Structures are given as structure tokens and as C-alpha cells.
Amino acid sequence: MAQAPSIPDIHAAISKDPRWALVQRVVSSRHFSTSSRLREFLLYVGQSAILGSPEDVTEQQIGIHVFQRPPGYNSNEDSIVRTHARLLRQKLGEYFTGEGAAEEVIIQIPKGHYLPVFQPAAPHPVAPHPLETHHEETSQAPAVSILPGLARGRPGKIWLVIAGCLLVLLFASTIWWSRSKPRAAASGMETLWGPFLSGSPPLVIYGEALFTRNSKNGIQATPAETASSPNQPRRENSNALLTGTGAVVAVRQLTLLFDAHHATFTLKRSLLVTWDDARSTNLIFIGSRASNSALNILSPMTDFTLLADPDSAGFINNHPKPGEPEMYSRPKPFFNKDYAVLALLPGLQQGKWILVLSGLSTFGTEAAAEYACKPDDVAALLQAASFKSGEIRPFDALLETRIVGGVPMEARLVTIRTH
């Protein structure tokens, strides 16, 4: 049985291929300088394409070889390959319209596939220099000048003047149209996230719950009042501060959003937040009040109050509208539904804002972050709040999410309050 070629053999087979040289130039460019994963992604799929191995460029194979996922992992639940493929397409577009604009061949990755395509770049038309205009002698009657002051029999100059006049008219009409047309309405994402994506980086504050570990009961959550006092004495290896998976996913969602807008944020644990941190910047809280102690101090919400005790958990509806319940309770046993609050509140200083992504559990927190990062969902939320284009005011929104197989699915808006 023939053995698979080794990595040196593979590189030797493609080292003289101009397509491989192109891939090397792309990954060495400044557009890819900050992302080692995107470089590895392009090198892997580019190598497979040149070697004629499309079977190696599936989502499963890319996840295993580029992102170190275990064989057989569930790509429906883990979207890391799809997410990085979108970023890779964006970076390729930036390279071939910027630093690599002179390349004769471009690399494209069609949507829905991961196998790159090498194709000739579109030719750039070059306008002839006026002095190189060709005048051909003919036996026909000389052309009649249609512009005063031009000699008969010189059609080249006539058309140059006509072209110049048309360009002037086109330039003037473009300026008039750009000044007279109404400005495009601000998108919902720009409206909601604008304060956090511009100016100084916002402070993202995530919560940590205190868990007790012992050989008899395993890992159990500690009451919120205990978790908010991390400095109390505890036995070695008996207690641990843990962050829920929903908060981790929420931070990842924010990272993708901020990266797409070339913005950044500062990440800090709730127990380490100081008043100096909080008073002069925009804030984003991730996690429930039970685990995010700073949320209880810095961000009072009045419309929906978290209730969490051994017998029940939910959000109290402090000002129910007609037909609304006084309590949105999590079902028992808890396995198929959760609630979360997505709120925008005034900051601690004039002109600053606080955004809250707070679920009853880690599932609700994850659902709230995904909802806030989806343009269609944000547009629906602002429409339900009756905000005009570009307008934003404080609001409290209650979300509900289904949980399937331990994964929060699409969240929906239940009700909203504006202030």
C-alpha cells in the first residue's frame, strides 16, 4: 500500500507552482500579519487546491487540521470554520484591491465552499494618451467641423473636445446629486453600538460565580452573597471562581463585532472593577446579577428584577402591560427555555452608556449576546421600541430563548420598555 506523502514531499511538489508563490505572498502581506489562524487557513486550503485534493477542504477537515478540533466533532454546533472563512474572504478582498492590486492572478473562496479558486485578475483598461490618438488618411470627403474654431478634417480633436465637455457635465451632475440626495438612514447596528465602537474603548465586565467542590456533592453553586465576597477564608481546593460558557461565547461575539468595525474593548472580571474604571467610560455587562456583582452596584434596572432562589427563578415584571404576566419564570425542570434582559442604560457620566446582557443562566446570557450582534434582530428591537432612524434612548428588553441539547437557539423579543 502506498504511503501518504510527507510534508516536505508536498512542499517540494508545489514549491515551483506560481499559485503557491501567490499564496505565500498573500500570507506574508500586512493584511494577514495579525492573524496566524487566517494564514494557516489559507496555506492549508491553498495547498490542497494546488495538489488537487478537494476532499481535504471540507469543514470537518479544516476544523481538525487548522483549528485542532478532535476528529468527528460536531461542526453544526462549532462554527469556527465558517466564521474564519468569512474573515478570510474579507482579507483576500482587501489584499487584491490594495497591496496586491497588481497581481495577475487572484484567489477567491466562493461562498458555500472552502476550496480556493485561482483566476486571472480583471484587466485594468488604460485610456489612450491624447498625443497618441491615431489619425487615418482616407479618400473620403473631409469631415465637417461641428464646433466653431476647429479646422475641417480633424475628427480626433473634435471628439477629444466632446469627451472633455461630457466629463465636465458628468462631474458637475455627480456633485449636484451627491449634495441633493438624502443621507442614508443609520442602520440599527450603528444606532445601538455606535457609542461603544467609537471613541475610547469600552469596558466589558464579565461575571464569575463561586462554586464549592467536595467529594460528596461534587461542584455546587454558592449563594450570590457569598460569591460577592471573594476575600473570605476558604479551604485550599474547596472553592473556585468559574465563568459560564455563555459569558465566554458572549465575549467571542463582541470580539467578532468589534474586529469587524476595527474597534477594541477592555475586558475585566466583575470583582476587579473599580469606580475609577467605571465612571469615565462606556460599560458592557455580561452575565446575571448573581455572578456579576458590579452589575448590582453600577447598573440599577427597574423594569425587570431577577429572582433566583431554591424554589424558582425568573424575571419579575415590575410594570406589566395589559395581558403580560407579573413573572417570567424559567420552567421546571430547567432544560428547554431561559430568559434574559438586554438593556441600554445611562452611564455614570453625561454622554456615557451602559449595555447589559444578563440571562437567568449562562444560556440566557449567550442568547442575549447573539441577539444583540445580529443586524436583523437589532432592527426588530429598535422597531418594537418605536425609535426613529438614528434615535436611541434607554430601554429594557426581555428576551426568551429555546434550549435544545444544551445549546440556546434563536432568541425572540418578548417585551420592551423605553425611557
DSSP characters for 14-50?
HTT-HHHHHHHHHHTSGGGTT-HHHHHHHHHHHHHHH
Q: Cα separation of 100 and 23, whole Å? A: 11
pLDDT the model gives residue 230: 41
Q: Specify whether the CB–CB gap between 399 and 365 falls below 8 A.
A: no
Q: Cα separation of 67 and 80, whole Å? A: 8
Q: Specify whether the CB–CB gap between 45 and 62 falls below 8 A.
A: yes
Q: CA 9 from chain center: how many Å?
A: 38
Question: Nearest CA to 371 among 393, 343, 347?
Answer: 343
Residue type, 249: V
Give, for 399, the enclosing helix (H) or strand (E).
Answer: strand 395-404
Q: Cα separation of 234 and 241, whole Å? A: 12
User: Exposed (0-12), middle (13-18) or buried (19+): which is 136, by Cβ within 10 Å?
Assistant: exposed
**Residue labelled with grid coordinates 465612571:** 279
For residue 344, the cross-strand partners are 355, 395
DSSP-derived letter for residue 132 is G
Give me the sheet containing 218-221, strands edge to edge: 218-221, 209-214, 239-242
Instruction: Please give the chain's pLDDT, 419 residues, in tens.
Output: 444 455 555 666 677 899 999 999 999 999 898 888 999 999 999 999 998 888 889 999 999 999 999 988 888 888 899 999 999 999 999 999 999 999 999 999 988 889 999 999 877 555 554 444 444 343 344 443 333 443 444 555 566 656 666 665 665 555 554 444 444 445 789 899 999 998 888 989 887 665 555 555 544 455 444 444 444 444 444 555 566 787 888 898 899 999 988 889 998 887 787 777 777 889 998 987 767 766 766 655 568 888 776 567 888 898 899 999 999 988 876 668 899 999 999 888 888 899 999 888 888 899 999 999 999 999 999 999 888 888 889 999 999 998 887 788 888 999 999 98
Q: Cα separation of 358 and 338, whole Å? A: 11
DSSP-derived letter for residue 307 is E
Q: Specify whether the CB–CB gap between 2 and 39 falls below 8 A.
A: no
Q: Cα separation of 54 and 241, whole Å? A: 45
Q: Cα separation of 266 and 25, whole Å? A: 33
User: Exposed (0-12), middle (13-18) or buried (19+): which is 311, by Cβ within 10 Å?
Assistant: exposed
Q: Specify whether the CB–CB gap between 209 and 221 falls below 8 A.
A: yes
**What's the whole-model pTM score?**
0.53
DSSP 3-state percent helix, strand, coil across the chain (nearest 5): 40, 20, 40
